[in-house]
Amino acid sequence: MTEAHDTYKSIYQNLIDAGCDESITEKCMLLVKEERIFDMLPILANHRKHLLDSVHKGQKQIDCLDYLIYSLKKQK
């Protein structure tokens, strides 16, 4: 029983560390309790996509700032 509890706690902590909101975390933990762990995969893949989209958006913003900084320095 301890091993199952440790696995449950580990999955929960991993979801939190991955930035999953309360809704996603609750859905996933319910699936864990129901021993339907593989049904979490589409939920996790969707969350991963959203995280990657935000990384790409941030990278575009950084690129714009870098270009602006470059342009301003070039005008000196």
Tell me how far apart the alpha carbons of residues 49 and 17 are, in angstroms, rounded to a whole number.
Answer: 16
Residue 2: the pLDDT is: 64
Find where tokens 């319910």 sit.
30
Residue 57: the pLDDT is: 98
Which element (helix H / strand E) includes 37?
none
Number of structural domains (the chain) is 1
With b for 16 or more beta-carbon neighbours within 10 A and e for fewer, the 9-40 pattern comes to eebeeebeeeebeeebbeebbebbeeeeeeeb
For the chain, 76 residues long, the average pLDDT of each consecutive 10-residue run is: 80 98 98 96 98 98 97 91
What residue numbers bound the domain in which 13 lies?
A: 2-74
